[in-house]
Amino acid sequence: MFLSHIDNFAVEKKYLAPRIQVALEFLRKTDWSSKADGKYVIDGDVIIANLATYTTKPKAECKAETHLKYIDIQYMVKGAEVMGYSPLLSGQEIAEDCSKEKDAIFYKNINNEQEVVVSEKMYTIFYPTDIHRPSCLVTTPQEIRKIVVKIAI
């Protein structure tokens, strides 16, 4: 897992893989305030962004997940949410395996889950070995706008 602010991209980009650099540069240069929710193709089927507006929920209503085929970049356009994180280690109990149809594996309980508040212009990078639980409220439900970029691995 990697957590940062888009304003640090120029300094940090040398540490990031080329496809991640392309995705973050696209996020940084685009004025998202005027964009409609939906899918934005960055590089064919290799890098795809999905902009969505939704209301954050209590942690108990948010699913913890991993992905096998894609790296997730989650970029906060407006608002703030809590994201849970834990490394994928043995002993994590799978609740539902949707890896074939949706590239998602959902988990029942997360061992040693850590939480981070992600606010405007911040982003996270989740790799296949990172269990993450997005969409959780900070203190009360709030409407947010967030982009999830899927990068094929």
Question: Domain boundaries in the chain?
Answer: 2-152
pTM: 0.95
Residue-wise pLDDT for 6-58, tens only, equals 999 999 999 999 999 999 999 999 999 999 999 999 999 999 999 999 999 99
Query: Is residue 107's pLDDT more than 90?
Result: yes
Which CATH superfamily hosts domain 2-152? YhcH/YjgK/YiaL (2.60.120.370)
Count the neighbouring beta carbons within 10 Å of the beta carbon of residue 37: 11
The per-residue b/e assignment along 65-97, b for 16 or more CB within 10 angstroms, e otherwise, is bbbeebbbbbbbbebbbbbbbbebeeebeeeee
| Percent of the chain clearing pLDDT 90 (strictly above) | 91
User: What average pLDDT is seen over the chain?
Assistant: 96
* Dihedral angle over CA of 80, 109, 124, 144, nearest 10: -20
Give the model's pLDDT for residue 109: 82
Give the model's pLDDT for residue 144: 98
Structure token pair of residue 57: 């929920």
Structure token pair of residue 149: 């970029």
